[in-house]
Homo-oligomer: A and B are copies of this chain.
Amino acid sequence: MAEVVTLKTGAVLTREGDPAPHVFSISSGSLRVYKLLPDGRRQITGFLFAGDFLGLAIGDDYVFSAEAMEPSTVCRFRKGPFRALVEQSPPLEHMLLHRTMHELAAAQNQMLLLGRKTAIERMASFLLDLPGHDPARPSAPGHVRLPMKRAEIADYLGLTIETVSRVLTRMKLQGLISTPSPSDLVVERPDRLRQYALGEV
């Protein structure tokens, strides 16, 4: 019933508007999920990692596109059998509801960010929300990986690449962060960053 699919970097898993026969669960790697306007403007609605589900939306067509950001593997289920499975398993359905509610809450935070926060507030929120702040690994405090490019950060935060870059530079000058490499970042002052994220500056 489930097939394993291997994705190269940049591979397209779903395309907005295409018929949607499948539902997916991410096994490894990371995906970007986005929506496009006809003229090419893109809004990334989320990044998915191992354990996340994709394609649960209703309707016959996908309402978003999804691409691998790095080599990834996903489990693919045909929608019909998957639905049948869910029908028979209340715990599974419960888990899906729980996850979907979490995603909805995250989406509402993102609306606040997109509708009302300034560029630096958006970036601060983003950096604090990134995985990798586990107090479980105090060995590398504040270290986070940025598996995405500047263009993806920009399209997630409703900004341009240039603004993303300028904000990061400003943050570096203020000593809030440091960037050992463009895809590696250290949060030096999580406290100050948190203030920015809430617009308290």
Could you list 21 A-B pairs, sorted by A, with CB under 8 Å? A35-B109, A35-B111, A38-B200, A41-B116, A41-B199, A43-B111, A43-B116, A56-B101, A57-B101, A57-B104, A58-B98, A59-B105, A87-B94, A90-B90, A90-B93, A97-B97, A100-B104, A104-B107, A107-B107, A107-B108, A115-B157
Q: Are A115 and B112 in contact (CB under 8 A)?
A: no
Task: State the number of copies, please.
Answer: 2
Q: Are A105 and B63 in contact (CB under 8 A)?
A: yes
A39 at the interface (CB under 8 A from B): yes
Q: Are B97 and A93 in contact (CB under 8 A)?
A: yes
A79 at the interface (CB under 8 A from B): no
- For A116, the chain B residues whose CB sits under 8 A away are 37, 41-43, 158
| Contact among B38, B107, B112, B199 for A199, CB-based, below 8 A | B38
Q: Are A102 and B37 in contact (CB under 8 A)?
A: no
Q: Interface of A with B (CB < 8 Å)?
A: 35, 37-39, 41-43, 45, 56-59, 63-64, 87, 90, 93-94, 96-98, 100-105, 107-112, 114-117, 155, 157-158, 198-200
- For A107, the chain B residues whose CB sits under 8 A away are 104, 107-108, 110-111
- Min CB distance, A99 to chain B, in Å? 10
A57's closest neighbor in chain B, by CB?
Answer: B105
- For A56, the chain B residues whose CB sits under 8 A away are 101
Q: Are A112 and B63 in contact (CB under 8 A)?
A: no
A102's closest neighbor in chain B, by CB?
Answer: B58
Q: Are A115 and B43 in contact (CB under 8 A)?
A: yes
Q: Are B108 and A45 in contact (CB under 8 A)?
A: yes
- For A96, the chain B residues whose CB sits under 8 A away are 97
